[in-house]
Amino acid sequence: MPVPRARRRESIPAHLTRPGDRKALMFIHPLGPEGAELRPLEPWQADEFLAHMDRAREYAGKRNGLPDVVRDRAGSRAFLQTYADRQAADSGRLYGIWQDGTLVGGVLFRTFDPAQGVAEAGCWLEPSAVGRGLVTRACRTIIDWAFTRRGMRRVEWHVATDNAPSIAVARRLGMTREGVMRSAFVHRGRRLDMELWAVLSEEWGGPGE
């Protein structure tokens, strides 16, 4: 397993705007005073990510398909490599949330299209991290970066209609509910409706809103 290079504690740096730049992966962003941090998730962290998924599996899997994808080390590494490839292609991003040195959740841009100025954000948590505002702060950080550093115009949030915690995050992020896509996806054998929420760059109040 490659040994990670030392990371400096800093805000998301400007050179994140350069697709495929390895330096762009080396940062730690504090998420408040409680010892929580936002960092990149990379393929060399497959074992740590799998252990986190095992802790999150029952809780997160009720509403999120990620635990069903990451079931073993191979699946963990494949998922992380997919997002490493998207990072290099400037078409996606993946970040973990650490609390006191333990990976407890994450946020991501499932899609990231600079040409159209549109991205789709998402999140997940394990039970120990619920109720601390970590996802909201992490999402504000990456959305603010997308708008202010990358010039994106719109960030979307796709969520099942019965996923009240995720809908609450969308509201806290200042997003507008734009509609419902009926029978839009299948999760664990059930067809579910999906709500579409979004925030535009001109509506964005910044990371501390």
Cα angle, residue 185 at apex, residues 114 and 50 outer, rounded to 5°: 75
CB burial of 96-111 (b: ≥16 within 10 Å; e: otherwise) equals bbbbeeebbbbbbbbb
* pLDDT number for residue 126: 96
For 33, the token pair is 């005073």
Closest CA to 52 of 6, 3, 96, 5: 96
CATH number of this structure's domain 27-203 = 3.40.630.30
Share of the chain above pLDDT 70, in %: 87
* pLDDT number for residue 198: 99
Domain boundary assignment for the chain: 27-203
**Residue 16 pLDDT greater than 70, yes or no:** no
Q: Which residues contact 25 (CB under 8 A, 6 or more apart)?
A: 40, 42, 87
Angstrom distance (rounded) from CA 20 to CA 87:
6
pLDDT in tens, 183-198: 988 888 889 999 999 9
